[in-house]
Amino acid sequence: MSGDTALSGDATSSKVGPQIPVVVLAGFLGSGKTTLLNHLLHHSGGSRIGAIVNDFGAIEIDAMAVAGQLGDSTVSLGNGCLCCAVDASELDVYLDKLTRATQDGHAMDVIVIEASGIAEPQELVRMVLASENPRIVYGGLIEVVDAAEFDATREKHPEVDRHLGIADLVVVNKSDRVPDAERERVLGAVRAAAERAAVVHASYGRIDPELLFDCRPTRERIGQLSFDDLYRGDDLDRGDDPHRGGAHDGHLHAAYESLAFVSEVPMEPRALMDFFDSRPEGLYRIKGYVDFGAADALNRYAVHAVGRFLRFYPEPWPTGEERLTQLVLIGAGIDTEALRKGLDACRSGATSDAPHTVDQHGMWGVLRYVQDKGDADEVEDFAGGPGPA
Ligand SMILES: Nc1nc2c(ncn2[C@@H]2O[C@H](COP(=O)(O)OP(=O)(O)OP(=O)(O)O)[C@@H](O)[C@H]2O)c(=O)[nH]1
């Protein structure tokens, strides 16, 4: 989900370092949450994953050692339902512990909270959004669904539709247990219920970790990142490269396409928001920086989207930094050429020969997606209809 880290921070966060995305991992009993978390730990590419789990026993300690994260990196609640066991201030204590934990002097790259199979994800999301911890940023909700049990689960627990409705990324897991045609049918039903969430299918939770956070295999994260690091995402669809390995095993990436976009010309805020608001379903990951030119000459805007979740994080332009817009878009079944043209059309002056004038109110649409404490209230809106993201 989020997120990623990339998320990097707003002006406040620059005082405390980059913000750490906190991803909520939910799904009904036995859908494969722990399996997915173990997969992430095995394929973290050197990224440091902190986890808050209900059942520590089920997490593979070996995998955590591989990922270089023993010690303070996991908090176990050990008593069933996270949302019942923990109130917001207790969660803050756990988050505080994880955000202070370091490995070789480096902070966590992402924190995953695994909800118990019966937890209401909405409650957890609200608690994360309401957290007072300045080092974290909400990184999205992943909902895991059992492909073979979807109909039965939905019959027994109609609230599954509500959970899908607030998810940012839905993983239709256990694909191996159903024939292709059945998998497609379930994917269709899930997409219909999940509104604009990204929907991917997987076996044994084997999703691409890049969907949730920026892996740290070679260099630094997006937060401080050079464009080369961002561009690394452009390799995602070259899954047949035999030299790639570890977190980038070809099969994980084969289904994804990505697009890297760079512009020296600032982006026009209104046009870019129209582009984001109408982004196609298959486009489930956007990361990078936007230069809005004179509309905000002081700040660049780190952008982070996972599924329907979209946030901008303004931060002062680093001294001497070239003013560029740099975006990476990742999705499945997306028309990268059409997306590139769409982004080209958002460049200032792209639609008119007249000299560019600053649209006084153009930034309002962007500022709706800058995180503030009002975010916690939006969770209700997510459940009831299209929220701001
Ligand atoms: N065939 C198949 N089995 C899977 C898959 N993913 C997980 N399993 C199995 O399903 C069972 C439940 O998986 P878990 O990862 O423990 O599920 P969970 O959602 O964490 O379960 P709870 O914590 O009880 O809610 C385990 O026996 C897994 O090995 C999959 O894609 N295919």
Tell which wins on pLDDT, 28 or 237: 28
Report CA(2)–ligand 1 centroid distance (Å): 23
Q: Which of 34, 113, 175 to mutate to test the pocket of ligand 1 (most atoms within 8 A of CB)?
A: 34
Task: Check: CB of residue 33 under 8 Å from CB of residue 223.
Answer: no
Q: How much is the ipTM here? A: 0.98
Encode pLDDT of 117-160 as tens digits: 666 788 888 888 888 888 888 888 899 999 999 999 899 888 89
Task: Check: CB of residue 77 under 8 Å from CB of residue 119.
Answer: no
Mean per-residue pLDDT over the chain, rounded: 71
pLDDT at 215: 52
Encode pLDDT of 358-367 as tens digits: 666 889 899 9
Closest CA to 194 of 186, 206, 204: 186
Strand partners, 26: 143
Report CA(71)–ligand 1 centroid distance (Å): 26
β-strand pairing of 136-146 with 169-173 = parallel
- CATH no. of 5-211: 3.40.50.300
Nearest CA to ligand 1 atom 2: 174
Residue 237 has pLDDT above 60, yes or no: no
Task: Ligand 1, residue 117: give the atom nearest the CA.
Answer: 25
Nearest CA to ligand 1 atom 25: 29
Which residues have CB under 6 Å of ligand 1? 27, 29-35, 117, 173-174, 176-177, 203-205
Instruction: State how far the alpha carbon of 25 is from the alpha carbons of 37, 132, 142, 243, 375, in Å.
Output: 8, 21, 5, 31, 19
**What is the spatial distance between Cα 182 and Cα 295, in angstroms, rounded to a whole number?**
49
Reported pTM? 0.64
Encode pLDDT of 11-32 as tens digits: 333 445 567 888 899 998 789 9
Question: Which H or E run contains 50?
Answer: strand 49-53
Burial 129-152 (b: 16+ CB within 10 A, else e): bbbebebbbbbbbbbbbbbbbbee
Confidence of residue 101 (pLDDT cuts 50, 70, 90): low
The tokens describing 50, both together, are 């902190």
Q: Which of 29, 35, 52 to mutate to test the pocket of ligand 1 (most atoms within 8 A of CB)?
A: 35
pLDDT at 330: 78
CB-facing half-sphere around the CA of 308: CA atoms within 13 A? 22
- Among 17-21, 39-43, 247-251, 361-365, the range with the most confident prediction by mean pLDDT is 361-365
Tell which wins on pLDDT, 88 or 378: 88
Tell which wins on pLDDT, 117 or 329: 329
Task: Check: CB of residue 73 under 8 Å from CB of residue 94.
Answer: no
Confidence of residue 227 (pLDDT cuts 50, 70, 90): very low
Strand partners, 326: 262, 289
> From 3.30.1220.10, 3.40.1480.10, 3.40.50.2300, 3.30.465.10, which CATH number describes the 222-384 domain?
3.30.1220.10
Nearest CA to ligand 1 atom 12: 30
Task: Ligand 1, residue 37: give the atom nearest the CA.
Answer: 15
Report CA(146)–ligand 1 centroid distance (Å): 9
User: Which residue ranges make up each domain of the chain?
Assistant: 5-211, 222-384
pLDDT at 383: 32
Query: Average pLDDT, stretch 35-50?
Result: 79
Query: Average pLDDT, stretch 213-230?
Result: 39
**What is the spatial distance between Cα 222 and Cα 192, in angstroms, rounded to a whole number?**
32
pLDDT at 290: 95
Burial 29-61 (b: 16+ CB within 10 A, else e): eebbbbbbbbbbbbbbbebbbbbbbbeeeebbe
pLDDT at 357: 62
Confidence of residue 112 (pLDDT cuts 50, 70, 90): confident
Residue 272 has pLDDT above 50, yes or no: yes
Report CA(26)–ligand 1 centroid distance (Å): 13
Report CA(3)–ligand 1 centroid distance (Å): 23
The tokens describing 349, both together, are 């002056």
Nearest CA to ligand 1 atom 27: 30
Task: Ligand 1, residue 173: give the atom nearest the CA.
Answer: 31
Report CA(31)–ligand 1 centroid distance (Å): 5
Transcribe 179-218 into DSSP letters: -HHHHHHHHHHHHHHTTT-EEEE-STT---GGGTS---SS
Nearest CA to ligand 1 atom 29: 35
DSSP 8-state symbol, 267: B
